[in-house]
Structure 1
Amino acid sequence: MMKASPSPAPTRARAAGGLAWWSRHGALAAFAVLLILNIAITPHFLSVQTLNINLTQVCTIIIVAVGMNLVIATGGIDLSVGSLMAISGVIAPMIFMGAWAGAGHIGIAVALAVVAAVAVAGLLGVFNGWLVARFGIQPIVATLILFIAGRGIAQVLVDGNLQTFTVPEFAWIGQGALFGIPTQVFVMAAMVFAAVWTMRRTRFGRYVLAVGGNERAAVMAGLPVRRIKIAVYAVSGLCAGVAGLVVIAINSASDSNQIGLGNELDAIAAVAVGGSALTGGQARLLGTVLGALTIQLIRYTLLANGVPDAAALVVKAAVIALAVWLQQAQRRT
């Protein structure tokens, strides 16, 4: 008597469950493995200096990735964030090194510089959202405009010159510490907390996911889809503005040619590795934080053990490709 062949349904279900687990928890598993590996083979890995180095390098990426995650949750993308960082990073020194600072009002000048720089970046984010929502331009094309023109604007504002400054009241953002923890970590944590709370506790958060999950259904349900899209690009611009300030505060210098260069790709990578679907409908913000930390730790592990930076970039690209493959495989099952 012939034995009945096992039904393929349970096998498919197990495969789908496995892919879902790796898509959601793969970054955590990789991060844990990297921690154990570094503790075993990397000298001085558990030192405060090593911790501060990694936090300094990853905080700005996480800040940008928070805004990027909201944009991606609506089914969009924002390539302009690196250029918006550059604009914010050149506007601030122009203000706090200006006439008010010379007149002895440095505290007011710094406060005005921070508000103005972040506001400009946010308004440029509104411009991105307006192109996407009002004219239906593909997000990758709409944000490519400021990706190109934004850095040019930053360079024109300062004639491409390096701005150096010694302003402790401002540098504290990137160089100060509270209880031994870098100030920028608190800035990053505050922005992550605000974004997580908004997405989990507010109507706006639910609307963002609804738009990314099924835009047509969101329109038919009467949701303000255009305003939601403009809002998430504005948030992305604000996050980029804050990140630009942190970068120049760390370096006590503003270089319009280098601020934010490539950060848009790092932010997208953090979102992908963190488990948020690049097709929209998800905003795993804590996963995005973990994705950024994992990518940073991969790079640090390789560099600390003598692997050239070029090879580290290849490994990072492979990790991103694996994260995207897992998402696509999960959708097909």
Structure 2
Amino acid sequence: MTTIETQATAGTVPSGKRFFTLAGRYGTVAAFLALILFNVLFTPNFLSLQTLNVNLTQVATIVIVATGMTLVIATGGIDLSVGSLMAIGGALAPMIFMGALFPVSSMPVAVALAFILPVIATALLGLFNGLLVTRFAIQPIIATLVLFIAGRGIAQVMTNGNLQVFRNEGFQFIALGRIAGIPAQVILMIVIAAIAWAAVRHTVFGRQVIAVGGNEKAARLTGIPVHRVKLLVYMISGALAGVAGLIVVARNSASDANLVGLGMELDAIAAVAVGGTLLTGGRANIMGTLIGALVIQLVRYTLLANGVPDAAALIVKAALILLAVFIQQRAGKP
């Protein structure tokens, strides 16, 4: 029985401690509902389908990347390379179906390869991050900083620094298509988040992820393959970054290695922190990450819709991260 549970049983949980515990558990949902209420009352046309579509499509890539980031952080790691991996995946896809890398017999085959090969490539780069962390015992922030710096350079070399403009309905369906009226990228976001949530809650792998982040030494002593778990979460993070990169370039009808994924690592980390996952590891709140990403998007939308410059959203985002970390620290103190 934990200290908190013992105190609760004895009825001696301090009121301050109880507040921060409740804030850590329900604060993100409360912030989300408060933002919705504010916009319903003060922001014109907030309840329109167009506004809903804009916010959901804007948040989809953040949620997809943040889902992988949640798993990495749950093991006690961090992945700063996700934005650069998005740029690599986004640069590679149009090169494939435009025939810039190798000839392909038919356009449907080219489009299929443009979906598959970039995700495999970014997953392997995620594996590279994992090998630096596990095999060479490099701190995650340093290990992933390598591709954070070099990855965007790789994408720029691949495209000679040029903007790749294209139009291909088959490829762009991932970002512009709709299924039963719902944007395809939103459906993909929900599916990815749901699979990750189920994996964390109901699989051996999910329990291993939490165990590794909670106490790596104890996890190793109980027979958990710590290195394998870490390699997998970095591969998953890389693969999901690749998926997000495909969505961005498909949405824009162009691939710009200088801009695709720029700053995404910060958005993903912010969503994870605001969503309640401990940045020190040992917890993976996938649904919290989803809501955290929605909170961050709604903050930006609310500020813009009410005439506040976009730069202010960066300040608010930083404040949200600090507040989330502060609440986590206070809730974790006995």
TM-score interval w.r.t. the shorter chain?
over 0.9
Q: Report what 1:263 is aligned to.
A: 264
Q: Report what 2:285 is aligned to.
A: 284
The answer to whether residue 124 in structure 2 is matched with residue 129 in structure 1 is: no
Give the Cα separation in 1 of the matches to 2:120 and 2:311.
36
Deviates more, 1:310-319 or 1:278-287: 310-319
Q: Report what 2:50 is aligned to.
A: 49
- For the pair shown, which has the larger CA radius of gyration, 1 or 2? 1
Cα RMSD over matched residues?
1.6
Q: Is the 8 A contact 2:277 2:289 kept in 1?
A: yes
1:213/1:41 CA distance change after superposition, 3 Å:
same
Cα shift at 1:11: 6.3
Q: Cα deviations across residues 142-176 of structure 1 (Å, max 9, x unaligned)? A: 00000000000000001010001010001111011
The answer to whether residue 224 in structure 2 is matched with residue 214 in structure 1 is: no
Cα shift at 1:185: 0.5
The answer to whether residue 114 in structure 2 is matched with residue 97 in structure 1 is: no
TM-score, normalised via structure 2 length: 0.95
Deviates more, 1:76-85 or 1:322-331: 322-331
Q: Cα deviations across residues 293-316 of structure 1 (Å, max 9, x unaligned)? A: 001001100100000111122112
Q: Is the 8 A contact 1:100 1:109 kept in 2?
A: no
Equivalent residues in 2 for 1:1-333, closer than 5 Å: 12-98=13-99, 105-333=106-334
Identity of aligned pairs, percent?
A: 60
Give the Cα separation in 1 of the matches to 2:104 and 2:232.
38
Q: Cα deviations across residues 199-230 of structure 1 (Å, max 9, x unaligned)? A: 11211111000000000101111110011111
Q: Report what 1:3 is aligned to.
A: none
Q: Is the 8 A contact 2:104 2:110 kept in 1?
A: no
Deviates more, 1:82-91 or 1:189-198: 189-198
Consecutive unaligned residues of structure 1, counting only runs of 5 or more, are: 1-8
TM-score, normalised via structure 1 length: 0.95
Q: Is the 8 A contact 1:88 1:117 kept in 2?
A: yes
Give the Cα separation in 2 of the matches to 1:48 and 1:301.
16
Q: Is the 8 A contact 2:208 2:224 kept in 1?
A: yes
Q: Is the 8 A contact 1:121 1:240 kept in 2?
A: yes
Three-state SS of the structure 2 residue aligned to 1:230 is helix
Residue-pair matches, total: 326
Three-state SS of the structure 1 residue aligned to 2:271 is helix
Give the Cα separation in 2 of the matches to 1:328 and 1:23.
10
Give the Cα separation in 1 of the matches to 2:305 and 2:157.
38
